[in-house]
Amino acid sequence: MNDVATPAAPGRTWPDEGLTRIPYWVYTDEALRRQEQQRLYQGETWNYLCLEADLAQTGDYVSTFVGETPVVAVRAEDGELYAFENRCAHRGALIALENAGRTDQFTCVYHAWSYDLQGTLKGVAFEQGVAGKGGMPPGFDKPAHSPRKLRVATTCGLVFGSFSDDVPDLEDYIGEAVLGRIRRILGKGEIEVLGRFTQKLPNNWKLYFENVKDSYHASLLHLFLTTFDVNRLTQKGGLIVSEDGGNHVSYSMVIPDERHGSEYRDQGIRSENQDYTLHDTSFLQGTDEIGDGITLQILSVFPGFVLGQVWNSFVVRQVLPKGVDETELHWTYFGFREDTPEQRTARLKQLNLVGPAGLVSMEDGCVGGFVQRGIATAEDERAVVQMGGDATSSSDTRATEASVRGFWKAYRRHMGL
C-alpha cells in the first residue's frame, strides 16, 4: 500500500474546487515526480510492457520501462512470461543493453554476473576466487541477490507488469467496459507488428495522458480531422470512463453521406478549412472491418497505456516519463496475420494520421510543450476542467472533460493528494 501518511507534495494544497481545477505545480514539481515513481509506478498499478507477439519464442526479450525504472520482459524455457528490473544485483549496471533480442541467459558486461530467463542470479565470475584466494564468501546466496521481479499478466495479446502484490488482477483493474473495447480490436486475430517509432515530448507525462483522454480537443486542435470529417464533436459517439476514473474509451462514427451543420464555421474555429483538399482520396477510404460503424476509438489504461484506432489503422502507445518536463512515447503499429493485401495497404496509408510525423499527432506533440512553456511561472495558478460539469462518468457526448477529471480522480487516490 502507498504511504499516504507522508505528503506526496509537501506544502502543496489541491484547490477546493476538486477535480474541476488542476494546479499547475503538478506538472513542474520535482519532488512530486520522485513520489510518482514510488506511489504510481511501483505502487498498485499495472504498466504496459510489450506485446505478446514481441515474446513469441523462448528467449525473446524486450527492454522497456515501468515509469523511469528499466525492466526486462522475457519468455523463459517453461513457456511463461517473466519481467524483472534491468539492473545487475552486483553494481547496478543494466543487464540487457539492446531494446529487444533473443538469448539463453543475461550477462552483465561489467563483471560478468549472469542471470537465467526468469531473472534469477545464476553465475558470479570468479565466485571461488583464483588459486584459493579472493572470491565471494562461502554460502553466498545467489538467488537472494537477484533483481526485483514483477508480477506479469496478459490480456488480448498485451503484456503488463506490476511491482505490487496488492494490485487487483489485470482484467479487474481495467474493468469490463474498457476491456470489452480492447477485445473489440485485439480480438480480431493474431497481431502482426507493422512498425515502431519513439517520440520525445518537451512536457510532463501527465499533459500527454490528459491529451489522450481529452475528447473535447481533437476536432478543435486537429485541422485534418475536422476538415476531412474524420472526427467532429457533432458526430455520433460517446465516452466510457471506468468507475475509478483511471481508464477510458472515447469513440465516434462517420456516417456515410451525413450532412454536417455549421457549428464549427459559425464559431470561426480554424480546424474547419474547406480550402484544403486531398490529392489521393483513397487515403481515407476505410472499411468497417469490425462491423460496428466505429471509425475512431482512443482507449487508455492508467497510468501509461493507450490503444488507438483511426479508421483501419491500429496503434499501441506507451507513455513514459523521462523527467519533470520530458516524456517519451513508444508507438507500435500493428495489423493481423490474416490481413488481406488491401487491408495492409490501408493500414500503412492511414498510419500517417498518427505517430510523430503524422498529420495529427505532431500537433499533440507540440501542444503539450506549449502548455509546459505557458505555465513556467504559474505554479500557484490552475487549469479549468469544467466542460460537461464536474462528473467523471460515462456519457453519450464527447463535449465533456469527464475522462480528464477521471484521470485526476485516479491520480489523486494513488498519490494521496
**pLDDT tens for residues 145-159?**
999 999 999 999 999
Percentage above 70 pLDDT, the chain:
96
Structure confidence at residue 275 (pLDDT) = 79
Task: Over range 404-416, report the average pLDDT.
Answer: 97
Percentage above 90 pLDDT, the chain:
76
Residues 124-142 have pLDDT tens digits of: 999 999 999 999 999 999 9
Spatial distance between the Cα atoms of 202 and 173, rounded to a whole number of angstroms:
30
Spatial distance between the Cα atoms of 242 and 319, rounded to a whole number of angstroms:
19
The helix/strand/coil state of 81 is: strand
Spatial distance between the Cα atoms of 188 and 413, rounded to a whole number of angstroms:
35
Q: For residue 6, what is the DSSP state? A: S
Q: Are 49 and 83 in contact (CB under 8 A)?
A: yes
Task: Over range 408-414, report the average pLDDT.
Answer: 97
Exposure string for 33-52, b = 16+ CB within 10 A, e = fewer: bebbebbbbbbbbbbbbbbb
- Write down the mean pLDDT value for the chain: 92
Spatial distance between the Cα atoms of 362 and 173, rounded to a whole number of angstroms:
31
Q: Are 392 and 400 in contact (CB under 8 A)?
A: no
Q: Please report the sign of the dihedral spanned by the C-alpha atoms of residue 401, residue 405, residue 406, residue 408.
A: positive
Tell me the CB-side half-sphere exposure of residue 295, using CA atoms within 13 A: 17
Q: pLDDT grade, residue 32 (50/70/90)?
A: very high
Whether the per-residue pLDDT at 304 is higher than 60: the answer is: yes
Whether the per-residue pLDDT at 223 is higher than 80: the answer is: no
Better pLDDT: 357 or 14: 14
264: Cβ contacts below 8 Å, ≥ 6 apart: 219, 226, 232, 271, 272
Beta bridge partners of 69: 66
Whether the per-residue pLDDT at 1 is higher than 60: the answer is: no
Structure confidence at residue 263 (pLDDT) = 74
Helices and strands of the chain, counted as H and E runs:
10, 19
Q: Are 387 and 223 in contact (CB under 8 A)?
A: no
Q: pLDDT grade, residue 7 (50/70/90)?
A: confident
Distances (CA, A) of 337 to 47, 99, 191, 297: 26, 24, 6, 22
Q: For residue 137, what is the DSSP state? A: P
Spatial distance between the Cα atoms of 244 and 250, rounded to a whole number of angstroms:
16
Spatial distance between the Cα atoms of 413 and 244, rounded to a whole number of angstroms:
9
Whether the per-residue pLDDT at 348 is higher than 60: the answer is: yes
Give one word for 30, left, alpha or beta, with left for phi > 0 and alpha for psi -120 to 50.
alpha
Starting at the edge strand found earlier in the chain, the sheet holding 106-107 runs 106-107, 114-115, 121-123
Beta bridge partners of 101: 61
Structure confidence at residue 4 (pLDDT) = 53
Closest Cα to residue 122, out of 153, 84, 152?
84
Q: Output the nine-digit C-alpha cell for 273.
A: 478549412
Spatial distance between the Cα atoms of 34 and 171, rounded to a whole number of angstroms:
28
Cα-Cα-Cα-Cα dihedral of 268, 271, 272, 275, to 10°?
110
Structure confidence at residue 308 (pLDDT) = 95
